[in-house]
Amino acid sequence: MTRKADRDQIRRQNRSIVLQALRRNGPTARIDLGHKTRLSPATVTAITSDLLDQDLILSLESEEPKTQQARGRPRTLLKLNPEAVYTVCIRLSVNNIDLALVNYAGEVIRDRRIHFDSATADARTFPETLVEAIASFLQEAGTSPSRVREIGVAAQGVVETETGLVAWSPAFSGRRIPIVAPLQAAFGADCYISNDTNMITEALHWSDPKRYSGTFAVVMLDYGVGMGLYLDNHLFSGASGTAAEFGHANHIPGGALCRCGKRGCIEAYLSDYALVRAAAGLPDDTDPMTIEAGEKGLARLIELASCGDADARRTFSEAGRVLGYGIARVVAIIDPSRLVLTGAAVRAFSFMEKAMWEGLEEALVADLRKNFALDVMPWNEDYIRGGLIAQSMERLDSTFYGNAAARPDRKEAPA
Amino acid sequence: MTRKADRDQIRRQNRSIVLQALRRNGPTARIDLGHKTRLSPATVTAITSDLLDQDLILSLESEEPKTQQARGRPRTLLKLNPEAVYTVCIRLSVNNIDLALVNYAGEVIRDRRIHFDSATADARTFPETLVEAIASFLQEAGTSPSRVREIGVAAQGVVETETGLVAWSPAFSGRRIPIVAPLQAAFGADCYISNDTNMITEALHWSDPKRYSGTFAVVMLDYGVGMGLYLDNHLFSGASGTAAEFGHANHIPGGALCRCGKRGCIEAYLSDYALVRAAAGLPDDTDPMTIEAGEKGLARLIELASCGDADARRTFSEAGRVLGYGIARVVAIIDPSRLVLTGAAVRAFSFMEKAMWEGLEEALVADLRKNFALDVMPWNEDYIRGGLIAQSMERLDSTFYGNAAARPDRKEAPA
DNA sequence: AACTTTTTTTCGGGAGCCAAAAAAAATATC
DNA sequence: GATATTTTTTTTGGCTCCCGAAAAAAAGTT
């Protein structure tokens, strides 16, 4: 049963909409906020004066507006108060912790990369390491931890959003590492953790909501294979928060050996180590950990293919066919309107494309595969940070209302 | 951006909640409606008096309430007015059109099965046939078509909910047959079409919302293989409405021949004809259309297995392994909290179970497969009708508000 | 200085919710 | 039979929304 509606909900929602409009459009006059949000001028005045009282937004009088308008009362622009609250956005990769301090306007005011050698470090102490890293980062920045109201983390591997831990990651040699609980305990802020590809998905929706709305999927071919799902206009993370593990969906029973220990995973055909292993003619059960792949391995392979090396070309072509089959299964189950292909390996897309389409056609009946568009998108790591920022800001915007806590939770309605 | 909130929305939502509470609990006093909906008594009075004015609900004074309560003003029970509106729920199977006339209380007041021989009939004229069948059904029932405000259709095969047509079905030899548009034109009611397994999914949520909420999947093993997805508390049907086509997700590249013409679909290993084909030792590219399977074929196979026939046992065991792999892929991508297995073939589940778990274990890393529960559920066709009724009633409840049309559309927010 | 134009604020009204009081309609008690 | 008690329902009054319209503010134009 749907939850009952009451007045508070209206105001909360409308405040949140005004904040979103300001974040998306930068300094804006009340009258334009009215147009953008479809609220009446009177209501915009009421809401913005609340927000001004709370120092969440600022009035931009002194600065010269000098828009095109000539006559009439000049519009006073409003903007988010950058210093109202701060967010820390963190990206965990195999060897790095990337920290960013972000203000309420969504601007990165300081960032820092900390090396973390996952091969030698003890995964069990990682949470403490992370807490210390954040604390010293904030101290350097001269920002009191109490002003940080939101901490977002993106990690590679299998992330359990619901429990707030990394369930399986190459960085932690497969150990389950709690992240959200230690951060929450240390800083008291609202914390969350998500898969890195989910954050790319969120970033796409933020940067081009026209194109990336409704139901779409993102497949990331990188050092590992990830997926993000945006379903019915919401980021989807499944019941325990581990959905969209495209890379560990099986392709061939008993097939090539994957880093996760199983055989036949899509990742075992498409990721960096899989490509290097195949191109080198190694048996497909060669332990992935013994393969030197990563950025260098992949780059060399792409170069070889570009030079016309037959083995490299064949490797990419076979990978493309696997990709086609994988996409076919996702399309059959999810029916997205668009599928975005990204990650370091899309540089080699031209070598995979033909086989990919062939695989897709072999795998899926025409009626099901004609309704989706494919985007191939080179990318950079900033997308992950962008998604974290978008997600954090959305959580913040819907939090502020008096002292009322409780962000409405889409997951479960109370009995 | 979220839509702005206003007062109308509140009232609409609360009215809808009251109607839902009445539908779920039967005759209920205002005071209990207050408890169930968490609305104040004053508000319940206001809303119910509106609903009484509109004849959507009835007051049950004369009849003896005689509840356990002894003293105090007696509660007057309210109930939905069964005659307020009518719904027609239609199930299309290969050879039958099952019609049901349902009143606003969700009770079936008349039903009828019409034979439709899809082998000889012309699929192109099916829409007219359907319209005529409904019209004569209503006439027999003595119900004016104008009182029918909702028509819901469930069909087997690939159903495009968004365009309102059957894209591929064994009943129509693969032709695309429009359903919603002709019905809408003929009757003016709000019409929709959905996949039959989606309706089972909806029925499960309706009948046991505690157990079947959040994110869960339903797999139907029948004369064909279907799936329904309930994600984040909403029935999910994908961008074009063809999601959850589990049966046509590929299992083995270049594998067994499927009814859809492709090779290696899960259906080509798990459906009635696939089992009969395998048990008979026929080559796996034997044309499914030439195989006598259906209810009888499946029943005989189950009997053989029960008697200890080795070939039959092996057939089911192999099918179970495929099922395990298929479930593993769904779990990797969707991460449901529960997976329901149903359909005619679950009678043979005991012969498939061991291999299914083995397949699941082979295919998926442990971290991803330990978060879901499996239900095996015998079923009957009434579930589909139940889901249609639940869906139709939900659509009706959120429709009535003054003359305002516009059921809020979860799919797309306006710019 | 008076008019025009545009934005913002104020004011009054309507709609929704709720808490509390009042009314209604029984049974229990004397 | 009259009064008290209990429980449900309705009414009242108050609060908070939002909105339309009017008023005010703050320019530029004539």
A272 DSSP 8-state letter: H
Of A53, A80, A107, which residue sits at a domain end?
A80
Q: Examine residue B50 and state whether it is found in any structural domain, yes or no.
A: yes
Q: Examine residue A183 and state whether it is found in any structural domain, yes or no.
A: yes
* CATH number for position B171: 3.30.420.40
pLDDT value for A139: 97
Number of domains in chain A: 3
Q: Examine residue A408 and state whether it is found in any structural domain, yes or no.
A: no
Q: CB closer than 7 A to strand D: which residues?
A: A 7-8, 10-11, 14, 38-43, 46-47, 70-74; B 4-7, 29-31, 41-42, 44-46, 48-49, 69, 71-76
pLDDT value for B285: 93
Question: Is the model's pLDDT at B295 over the cut of 80?
Answer: no
Of B80, B112, B143, which residue sits at a domain end?
B80
| DSSP annotation string for A177-225 | EE-HHHHHHHH-SEEEEEEHHHHHHHHHHHH-TTTS-SSEEEEEEESEE
CB contact under 8 A, B1 and A14: no
Span B40-50, average pLDDT? 97
pLDDT in tens, B128-138: 999 999 999 99
pLDDT value for B109: 96
pLDDT value for A414: 31
Q: Examine residue A407 and state whether it is found in any structural domain, yes or no.
A: no
Are residue A65 and residue A94 in the same domain, yes or no? no
Write out chain B residues lying below 8 Å of A9, CB-based: 5, 10
Span B383-402, average pLDDT? 91
CA distance B139 to B112: 13
Which residue of B5, B38, B261 is in closest CB contact with A365? B261
pLDDT value for A409: 33
pLDDT value for B28: 96
Q: Examine residue B413 and state whether it is found in any structural domain, yes or no.
A: no
φ/ψ of B177, rounded to 5, equals -120, 120
No. of H helices and E strands in chain B? 13, 16
What is the layout of strands, in order, in the sheet containing A224-231? A234-236, A224-231, A216-222, A338-342, A373-377
pLDDT value for B380: 85
Span B344-355, average pLDDT? 96
pLDDT value for A69: 63
Helix, strand, or coil (residue A131) = helix
Are residue A239 and residue A373 in the same domain, yes or no? yes
CB contact under 8 A, B359 and A410: no
Q: Domain of B196? A: 86-200+383-397
Mean pLDDT score of chain B: 91
Write out chain A residues lying below 8 Å of B254, CB-based: 362
| Å separating the CA of residue A49 from the C1' of nucleotide D26 | 19
Q: Is A324 exposed, middle or buried (0-12, 13-18, 19+ CB in 10 A)?
A: buried
Are residue B234 and residue B369 in the same domain, yes or no? yes
Which bases of chain D are under 7 A from a protein CB atom?
A: 5-13, 16-22, 24-29
Are residue B251 and residue B312 in the same domain, yes or no? yes
Q: Is A395 exposed, middle or buried (0-12, 13-18, 19+ CB in 10 A)?
A: middle
Instruction: Quote the distance between the C-alpha of residue A58 and its chain's center.
Output: 29
Q: Examine residue A2 and state whether it is found in any structural domain, yes or no.
A: no
* CATH number for position A66: 1.10.10.10
Total residues belonging to chain B: 415
Q: Examine residue B160 and state whether it is found in any structural domain, yes or no.
A: yes
Dihedral, CA of residue A312, residue A313, residue A319 and residue A320, to nearest 10 = 160
CA distance A78 to A90: 29
Q: CB closer than 7 A to strand C: which residues?
A: A 4-7, 29-31, 41-42, 44-46, 48-49, 69, 71-76; B 7-8, 10-11, 14, 38-43, 46-47, 70-74
Which residue of A13, A246, A359 is in closest CB contact with B5? A13
Closest CA to B103 of B129, B119, B84: B84
Are residue B20 and residue B138 in the same domain, yes or no? no
Lowest mean pLDDT among A310-324, B60-74, B187-201: B60-74
Number of Cβ within 10 Å of residue B78's Cβ equals: 23
**Cβ atoms of residues B28 and B22 within 8 Å:** yes
Which bases of chain C are under 7 A from a protein CB atom?
A: 4-12, 14-21, 23-28
Are residue A367 and residue A392 in the same domain, yes or no? no
Instruction: Quote the distance between the C-alpha of residue A148 and its chain's center.
Output: 20
Question: Is the model's pLDDT at B412 over the cut of 60?
Answer: no
> What value, to the nearest 5°, has the Cα angle with vertex A242 and ends A239 and A244?
105
A117 DSSP 8-state letter: -
φ/ψ of B28, rounded to 5, equals -140, 140
In what helix (H) or strand (E) does residue A355 lie, and over which residues does it extend? helix A349-363
pLDDT value for A209: 95
| Å separating the CA of residue A72 from the C1' of nucleotide D25 | 10
φ/ψ of B361, rounded to 5, equals -70, -40
Of B47, B80, B113, which residue sits at a domain end?
B80
Are residue A164 and residue A291 in the same domain, yes or no? no
Are residue A124 and residue A265 in the same domain, yes or no? no
**pLDDT lower than 50: segments of chain A:** 403-415
pLDDT in tens, A26-68: 999 999 999 999 999 999 999 999 999 999 999 987 555 555 5
Are residue B359 and residue B222 in the same domain, yes or no? yes
Tokens read off for A303 = 């170069």
Q: Examine residue A326 and state whether it is found in any structural domain, yes or no.
A: yes
Mean pLDDT score of chain A: 91
| Å separating the CA of residue B261 from the C1' of nucleotide C25 | 72
Are residue A312 and residue A345 in the same domain, yes or no? yes
Span B145-154, average pLDDT? 97
Are residue A364 and residue A230 in the same domain, yes or no? yes
CB contact under 8 A, A250 and B364: yes
Are residue A372 and residue A391 in the same domain, yes or no? no
